[in-house]
C-alpha cells in the first residue's frame, strides 16, 4: 500500500511483499517475475551471509530457517520454470559481502546445502535416491535443469528397455575402468567390423 501510494510501479509494490514467499512448505509462491527475482536474491543473501559467519544449521536446530530459505529458492526456480545459474548467483552473492565473510569455499558450501535439499523433495515424490544421485554427480548449475534431468531419468526407468541398457552401460563402464590407456573421445570407425557396431558408432 505505501509503495503504491509513494508512486512505485505495481510490480515493485507486489515484489516488496512477495520477497518473503514462500513463507513455509507448500506455501504460495511469488506471482510476478520481479517478486520471484527479489525472493530468490533475498534468500541467497541470507544463506551466504549466515554461512559466511559460520552459523550453520546443526541437526534439528535451524534458528535462521536456512533450510526453508534453500527450499524456497528451489521451489521458485523449479515451479516457476526459471532457468537460473545458481552457481553464478551464489558467487555474486559472496562477492557482495566482500571481506565481511570467510569467502574461501563459501560458495561451494552454500550450493551443496541448497542442492542437498532436493534429495528429500524427490524422496517425497517417490523418486528413487539413485536417480537423484546420478543427476547430482553431474552437478548441474541450474535447479530447473536438475529437475528436468531427474524427471527424464525417472521416466526412462519406467521403460521396459531401461534395465537392459543400464546393465550394458555398467558393463562398458567396468571395462573402461580397467583400461590403463587413455580412452579417445572419438570412435575409430576403422576398428568396427559388425553391422551392429557400425550402426552404434554412427549413432554416437
Label residue 91 by pLDDT band (50, 70, 90). very high
Task: Write the pLDDT tens digit of every residue in 16-68.
Answer: 788 889 988 888 999 999 999 999 999 999 999 999 999 989 888 999 999 99
Label residue 4 by pLDDT band (50, 70, 90). low
∠ Cα 151 91 28 (to 5°):
50
∠ Cα 25 28 34 (to 5°):
120
pTM: 0.80
Label residue 80 by pLDDT band (50, 70, 90). very high
> What is the per-residue pLDDT for 5?
55
Task: Write the pLDDT tens digit of every residue in 144-193.
Answer: 999 999 999 999 888 888 888 888 888 888 888 888 778 777 878 888 88
> What is the per-residue pLDDT for 25?
81
> What is the per-residue pLDDT for 149?
97
> What is the per-residue pLDDT for 92?
96
Confirm if 3 and 10 have CB atoms less than 8 A apart. no
Domain residue ranges in the chain: 2-157
Which residues 6+ apart lie within 8 Å of 30 measured at CB? 15, 18, 19, 21, 36, 38, 39, 76, 80
Confirm if 160 and 169 have CB atoms less than 8 A apart. no
> What is the per-residue pLDDT for 202?
83
**Closest listed residue to residue 151, CA positions, set 88, 79, 85:** 79
Amino acid at each position: 500500500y505505501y509503495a503504491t501510494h509513494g508512486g512505485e510501479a505495481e510490480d515493485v509494490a507486489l515484489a516488496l511483499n512477495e520477497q518473503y514467499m514462500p513463507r513455509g512448505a507448500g506455501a504460495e509462491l511469488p506471482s510476478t517475475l520481479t517478486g520471484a527475482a527479489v525472493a530468490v536474491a533475498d534468500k541467497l543473501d541470507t544463506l551466504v551471509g549466515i554461512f559466511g559467519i559460520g552459523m550453520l544449521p546443526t541437526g534439528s536446530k535451524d534458528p535462521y530457517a536456512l533450510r526453508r530459505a534453500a527450499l524456497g529458492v528451489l521451489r521458485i526456480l523449479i515451479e516457476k520454470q526459471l532457468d537460473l545459474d545458481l552457481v553464478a548467483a551464489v558467487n555474486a552473492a559472496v562477492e557482495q559481502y566482500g571481506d565481511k565473510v570467510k569467502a574461501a569455499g563459501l560458495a561451494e558450501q552454500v550450493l551443496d546445502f541448497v542442492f542437498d535439499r532436493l534429495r528429500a523433495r524427490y524422496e517425497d515424490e517417490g523418486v528413487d535416491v539413485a536417480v537423484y544421485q546420478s543427476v547430482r554427480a553431474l552437478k548441474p548449475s541450474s535447479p530447473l535443469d536438475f529437475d528436468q534431468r531427474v524427471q527424464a531419468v525417472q521416466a526412462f526407468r519406467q521403460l521396459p528397455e531401461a534395465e537392459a541398457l543400464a546393465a550394458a552401460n555398467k558393463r562398458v563402464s567396468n571395462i573402461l575402468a580397467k583400461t590403463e590407456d587413455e580412452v579417445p573421445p572419438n570412435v575409430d570407425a576403422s576398428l568396427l567390423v559388425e553391422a551392429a557396431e557400425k550402426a552404434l558408432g554412427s549413432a554416437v
